[in-house]
Amino acid sequence: MSVDIIDFRTSPDQYNHWKLSVDGPVATLIMEVDPESGLRDDYELKTNSYDLGVDIELHDAVQRLRFEHPNVKTVVVTGGLDKIFCAGANIQMLAGSTHGHKVNFCKFTNETRNGIEDATANSGQTWIAAVNGTAAGGGYELALACDEILLIDDKSSAVSLPEIPLLAVLPGTGGLTRVVDKRHVRRDLADAFATRTEGIRGDTAVEWGLVDHIAPASGWEELIAERAQARASESDRPDDATGIELTPLDRTIEGDSIEYSTVSVAIDRSTGSATITVQGPDGDEPTTPEELLGVGASAWILRSARELDDAILHFRLNETDVGTWIFQTAGDLDNVAQAEQVLADHADHWLVREIRLFWARTLKRIDVSARSLITLIEPGSCFGGTLAELVLAADRSFMLSGTWEDLDNPPEPVTIRLSPANVGTNGDAGGGWYPMSNGLTRLQTRFWGRPDALARAVQTAGKELLAEDALEAELITFAPDDLDWPDEIRLTLEERNSFSPDALTGMEANYRFVGPETMETKIFARLTAWQNWIFQRPNAVGPEGALRRFGTGSRPDFDPHRV
């Protein structure tokens, strides 16, 4: 393992690039990137350009605003440099990065933008972009993630997506999709916009639908305040609640093992796999929002989600050779049910809502990771409710039939149990708490186009299912007995490790997201497929490609053949 790992843990007192202030119901997040504080030393982050480190801080700020500032109803994001909002992803960083880093960088940045939209749509915390100057490429994509875009009308400030004419790549965080699917810009105008390097400003930007409001410098602050207060008045977030601190995660990395308080990871490099074990709660957990507020981030239902999320991010960027993730759990099903009951009983409370949304985002992060997902259900497991989502998320799941017969005191056979977390309430046909990017739950996705099978699975909720029951309900893939178990698992892992990782990623992504297409699936599917390909083409990354020639004064030399 590399010593210089990318760490996703940070806090406001460690930020190099962002300044956060709160004034009643309005928070202001100012982007003022330190050029000398990039993740690597082979580029400078000039003109508020960003690398992964800048976005790690933004992701942290998004999370903290939701949990630590329940009174904040509007977030204004703006630039801290004169006449510059954000120049987008740093070109020298992209040119010098490995292909894998570029793709994972874009994926994480996408998820952060999706988190901003999630806060607006589901948390009552509306984001507004106050574009105080140039917003190019990823800078405009950050603005696009906000629910409103304000642009200063100073005859020079513009919004643009110049990646195609300047860099021979696509906007990396969903810009093209959001322009037409979210802002409903007419496609011919969108075409003109995405090929115009100088961008669009002023009245034309409003007319085309690229921004919502403009104001001259003399009325700029007044416009921001007016729109921030207007959106705050629409929010259902509390006026006088106290937030909880997202305390630092305790993580230990030693050799091929990683330990948190509720999550442990063991890497087997011979099979290119990592076993990720989530430990269930040991005893009683909070049953009311007041108790949740009292224990804060130490509550198992939140702590386990944060630790699992950090582990997934760590493996994406720091362990790219580990292609298979094996999910296991350890604990008691009843303890898991007791811990998540507060999420069922108090869904309207702001903190309960945030915890449910956090789990939804964490599980989505697993869904879109380019890894094979395998779940092993053995005696001692606690795959119930929220943790049962790890069974439904798997590409394959194995559940032991019977028990370990060769032990002197064999344990009881393992069971799994669905809850409202998976199936919803009031008979809403599998509408649980954690939708995927396609807008469906994992249960609905599993039984897409098969309503009778879905109904049968929903009817098992609350029941402890042995392997045979789970197999009949189509909730697992295979149920080998103790004699076949070791060979079945070994052969699966060895086979997976022998296949092309590129082909596996394509196959898995095709199978995971059945059913309707949403803006989110378009962003991930189209971006992952096309940008993955474009980022390897000589026109972009070759010695005479646009990323290499950018800033040198020499134009790139493009191969004109359409493939």
* Helix segments in 298-450, DSSP class H: 300-318, 333-345, 350-367, 389-392, 420-423, 442-446
- Within this chain, do residues 212 and 257 fall inside the same structural domain, yes or no? no
Do 486 and 351 share a structural domain? yes
Q: What is the pLDDT of residues 88-100, one digit of tens each?
A: 999 999 989 998 8
Q: Are 74 and 27 in contact (CB under 8 A)?
A: yes
Residues 77 and 152 in one domain: yes
In 63-222, beta strands by DSSP E: 74-79, 84-86, 88-89, 126-131, 134-136, 148-152, 159-160, 213-215
For residue 329, what are the β-bridge partners?
278
For residue 346 the two structure tokens come to: 């108090």
Residues in CB range of 485: below 8 A, 6 or more apart? 398, 400
CB 402 within 8 A of CB 413: yes
**pLDDT averaged over every residue in the chain:** 95
Q: Which of 512, 532, 547 is the last residue of a domain?
A: 512
Surface-to-core class of residue 522, CB atoms within 10 Å of its CB (0-12 exposed, 13-18 middle, 19+ buried): middle
Per-residue pLDDT, averaged over 221-231, amounts to 98
* Spatial separation of the C-alpha atoms in residues 170 and 39, rounded to whole Å: 23
> Are 449 and 351 within one domain?
yes
Asked if 174 and 101 sit in the same domain, the reply is yes
- Give per-residue pLDDT as tens, 371-388: 999 999 999 999 999 999
Q: What span, in angstroms and rounded, lies between the C-alpha atoms of 215 and 228? A: 15
The reported pLDDT for the residue numbered 561 is 86
Distance set, CA 510 to CA 69, 200, 503 (Å): 38, 37, 11
Q: Please tell me the distance from the alpha carbon of residue 250 to that of residue 355, in angstroms, as a whole number.
A: 19
Element (DSSP H or E) covering residue 142: helix 138-145
pLDDT score at 2: 38
pLDDT band, very low/low/confident/very high, at 524 (cuts 50, 70, 90) = confident
244 occurs within a structural domain: no
Instruction: Say yes or no: 157 and 31 in one domain.
Output: yes
In DSSP terms, 274 is beta-bridged to 267, 325
What confidence tens digit (pLDDT) does each residue in 527-539 have?
666 777 888 889 9
Angle value at C-alpha 321, between 546 and 51, nearest 5 degrees:
40
Last residue of a domain, one of 493, 512, 531: 512
289: Cβ–Cβ under 8 A, 6 or more apart, which residues?
342, 346, 349, 351, 352
Average pLDDT over residues 411-431: 87
* Residue 192 and residue 271 share a domain: no
Helices vs. strands in the chain: H and E counts, helices first: 24, 18
Domain assignment present for 396: yes
Secondary structure (DSSP) of 476-505: -SB---TTTHHHHHHHHHHHHHHS-HHHHH
Residue 352, in any domain of the structure: yes
Q: For residue 87, is it within any domain?
A: yes
Percentage of residues of the chain with pLDDT beyond 70: 98
- Whether residue 140 lies inside any domain: the answer is yes
> Residue 143: which pLDDT band, with cuts at 50, 70 and 90?
very high
pLDDT for position 6: 96
Amino acid making up residue 362:
T
Strand partners of residue 376: 398
**213 and 302 share one domain:** no
Q: What is the pLDDT of residue 3?
A: 38
Q: What is the pLDDT of residue 461?
A: 95
C-beta atoms surrounding 121 within 10 Å: 12
Residue 468 forms part of a structural domain: yes
Residue with tokens 């011979």: 270
Say whether both 148 and 267 belong to one domain: no
Mean pLDDT in residue range 517-527? 85
Q: How many CB atoms lie within 10 A of CB 405?
A: 9
Condensed to tens digits (0 to 9), the pLDDT of residues 14-70 reads 999 999 999 999 999 999 999 999 999 999 999 999 999 999 999 999 999 999 999
Coil/strand/helix, residue 161: coil
Same domain flag for 182 and 261:
no
Q: What is the pLDDT of residue 1?
A: 33
Q: Which CATH number do you get for residue 357?
A: 3.90.226.10
Please give the backbone phi and psi of residue 527, each rounded to the nearest 5 degrees, phi first.
Answer: -65, -45
pLDDT at 551: 84
Residues written for the chain: 563
Give the integer Cα–Cα distance in Å for 333 and 317: 32
Tokens for 357?
Answer: 């949304």
Specify whether the CB–CB gap between 302 and 342 falls below 8 A.
Answer: no
Among 484, 512, 540, residue at a domain's last position = 512
Q: What percent of the chain has pLDDT over 90?
A: 87
Give the Cβ contact number of residue 158 at 10 Å.
22
Q: How many domains does the chain have?
A: 2
213 and 256 both lie in a single domain? no
Question: Which 8-state DSSP code applies to residue 377?
Answer: E
Q: Which residues, other chains included, contact 254 with Cβ-Cβ below 8 Å and sequence gap of 6+? A: none
Q: What was the pLDDT predicted at 506?
A: 87
Is residue 302 domain-resident?
yes
Cα 200–Cα 203–Cα 207 angle in degrees, nearest 5? 85
d(CA 259, CA 262): 8
> What is the per-residue pLDDT across 234-273, written as a single tens digit (0 to 9) for each?
999 999 999 999 999 999 999 999 999 999 999 999 999 9
Q: In terms of pLDDT, which residue wins out, 532 or 349?
A: 349
146 and 19 in one domain? yes
The answer to whether position 437 is within a domain reads yes
Containing structural domain, residue 394 = 252-512
Predicted local distance difference test score (pLDDT) of residue 426: 67
Q: In the structure, what pLDDT confidence band is assigned to residue 443 with cuts at 50, 70 and 90?
A: very high
Using CA atoms, how far residue 239 sits from 197, 289, 380, 404, 514, in Å, is 44, 16, 44, 55, 41
pLDDT tens track for 266-325: 999 999 999 999 999 999 999 999 999 999 999 999 999 999 999 999 999 999 999 999
Q: Structure tokens of 291? A: 């108790």
Judge contact between 316 and 264, C-beta under 8 A.
Answer: no
